[in-house]
Amino acid sequence: MNRIALTALLASCFSFGALGCSSTAGTASVAPHSPALAFAASATDVAQSCTPDGTQVIATHVVPAAGIRAVAAGDRIGLRFATTTNPRVALALDPGTLQILGGETPPVETAPGASRGPVQVELTGHRRLVAWTEGSVEMGWRTRVATVGADGSSDAPVDFGYEGSAVGQPAVAVTRAGNGVVAFIESNGAGFQLVVTHVTCAIP
């Protein structure tokens, strides 16, 4: 797909919700099909791409049907999800260390977005961080993430898989300082767990 076609596709997605795009992560009980986004540009074409640099399991016994939400407030990330013992878990997270901040009030919950398709958050410099779930029943599902530039160009998608197969829609949140997380629920064969990956989105 050439850059003109890619730009048109992304503009359609982000402006009109053609692929279920949302500025916040919603809920999903099954992994959605690939959004069929073909990122053609090389990483050098996208200024200041977001880079992953750490992954951690935040919770086990997660209920996949409840989904996962993430929202940035100040220098913290709020996560909301459900476990088999608590249907309304709300945590504040330090995105740099991926440590749970006990005693802190998580950011105010936002309304859920679309339950299928890519999710995206706005970054400085008119960029976007886009995440989606891609794969098949036979091969498993993986969380994919890419940084989209102001001109619609993108780096190659990064595979954020961890131990098993992704379930449902991921959630993304990035602070104004460029610290963020991509959170997703994963089935590792022993149950469902919440996985978060720290991403650094440099400020242009």
How confident is the model over 42-82, as pLDDT tens digits?
A: 444 445 688 888 899 999 999 999 999 999 989 999 999 99
Helices and strands, counts by H and E, the chain: 1, 12
Nearest in space to 198 (alpha carbons), one of 24, 51, 48: 51
Q: Report whether 128 contacts 122 (CB < 8 A).
A: yes
pLDDT in tens, 104-128: 777 656 545 445 678 999 998 889 9
Position 194 pLDDT exceeds 90: yes
CA distance 39 to 30: 24
Q: Can you tell me which residue has the tokens 């936002």?
A: 110
CA distance 60 to 184: 12
Phi, psi of 4 (to 5 degrees): -65, -45
pLDDT at 203: 72
* Strand ranges across the sheet with 158-159: 119-123, 127-136, 140-148, 158-159
Phi, psi of 52 (to 5 degrees): -80, 145
Residue 112 Cα distances to 109, 117, 127, angstroms: 9, 13, 22
Q: Domain ranges in the chain?
A: 3-201
pLDDT in tens, 133-187: 988 877 788 899 999 988 888 878 888 877 788 988 999 999 999 999 999 999 9
pLDDT at 109: 60
